[in-house]
Amino acid sequence: CGKTTGTLMESHPERPGLFQILMGETNETHRIMVTIALCVIVSLIIVATEAVFR
């Protein structure tokens, strides 16, 4: 998930908000939850994209 998220961040440089939240958030639990949420969202997007193009 980290690799995919990193690629997603690089391909969307106009959206630094999520990256700033991840880097600037001091609450570790919140950061973990956000990371998991991002992984789930990215996975859903990948699955949906594959379904559409299939």
Q: What is the pLDDT of residue 53?
A: 85
What residue ranges do the domains of the chain occupy? 2-53
pLDDT at residue 48 greater than cutoff 70? yes
pTM above 0.85, yes or no: no
Q: What is the pLDDT of residue 39?
A: 86
Q: For residue 11, give the nearest of 42, 37, 53, 35 by alpha carbon.
A: 42
Which has more confidence, 20 or 41? 41
Q: What is the pLDDT of residues 8-40, one digit of tens each?
A: 545 555 555 666 665 665 567 777 788 888 889
Q: What is the pLDDT of residue 41?
A: 92
Q: 29 is written with which tokens? A: 């639990």
Q: 23 is written with which tokens? A: 């880097």
Q: For 24, which DSSP code?
A: H
Cα 25 to Cα 32: distance, rounded to the nearest angstrom: 10
